[in-house]
Amino acid sequence: MSVRIAPSILSADFAALGSAIAAAERGGADLIHVDVMDGHFVPNITIGVPVVQSLRTIATVPLDVHLMIEEPDRYIEAFVKAGAAMVSVHLEVLPHLHRTVQAIKALGAKAGVVLNPATPAASLHDIAGDVDYVLVMSVNPGFGGQTFIPRSESKVREVRALLDRAGNRAPIEIDGGIDQHNVARVVAAGAEIIVAGSAVFHTQDPERATRELKAAANAASLDELGTP
């Protein structure tokens, strides 16, 4: 199993997103994680469709768009048209989650479902066969630079078991407070897409930080397989 690294540009300099993305890609970024916040579902406001459209012209890897917004159904098509290859939506805001997941897929993007720290893994039960990936939040969404919530590690194991029972090999993405010190633990628990914001962009050398995080993640994944 090869782990994918998704640097989150939330912690980058918004005046220089092009060079931030280029550095992350030189370091081996597999995806670019884009955090969209509306000031309602989460307290913060970040970026929207036009920015994703511009990022699409400079990024060479797929854009992984994490929607932390109310009524995401209103915007999904615009984000996919702007260039989102992956779109994740929060279970907490969607009474008709099945319809939303199908709508994302019908637009040709990968559909992800996100769980906040207080949302039980079991809430995924009836949608587990339909998702392309599950995003486990390991902080409360809204801001970069928060501390990893330890319970998230067992949550990843629970989600993996639930997906496996549904016969779905969809990967688990983890987001929030991931760094060089805890990445091995979450990979060992079953995370296969690693989001990192401050651990990449709040360093002197985002290229190197991406490379080192990816190496640590892949080493942990090899350990899991019992390979040296």
Q: What is the closest distance, in whole angstroms, from the C-beta atom of residue 33 to Zn ion in the complex?
A: 6
Q: Which residues bind Zn ion (CB under 5 A)?
A: 35, 66, 175
156 binds, among Zn ion, ligand DX5, none (CB under 5 to 8 A by kind): none
Question: Active-site residue 35, yes or no?
Answer: yes
Q: Is 188 exposed, middle or buried (0-12, 13-18, 19+ CB in 10 A)?
A: middle
Between 66 and 110, whose beta carbon lies closer to Zn ion? 66
30 binds, among Zn ion, ligand DX5, none (CB under 5 to 8 A by kind): none
Long-range contacts of 192-195 (CB under 8 A, 24+ apart): 192/1, 192/3, 192/4, 192/221, 193/3, 193/4, 193/5, 193/6, 193/30, 193/31, 193/64, 193/133, 194/3, 194/4, 194/5, 194/6, 195/6, 195/7, 195/8, 195/33, 195/64, 195/66
Q: What is the closest distance, in whole angstroms, from the C-beta atom of residue 14 to Zn ion in the complex?
A: 15
State the amino acid at position 160 in one-letter form. R
72 binds, among ligand DX5, Zn ion, none (CB under 5 to 8 A by kind): none
Which one of 30, 35, 38, 64 is the catalytic residue? 35
Q: Which residues bind ligand DX5 (CB under 6 A)?
A: 8, 10-11, 33, 35, 66, 139, 141-142, 144-146, 175-178, 195-199
**Locus of tokens 């962009």:** 201
Q: What is the closest distance, in whole angstroms, from the C-beta atom of residue 213 to ligand DX5 in the complex?
A: 10
Between 153 and 175, whose beta carbon lies closer to Zn ion? 175
State the amino acid at position 130 in one-letter form. D
Helix or strand holding residue 133 (H, E): strand 133-137
Question: Active-site residue 73, yes or no?
Answer: no
Q: Which residues are catalytic?
A: 35, 175
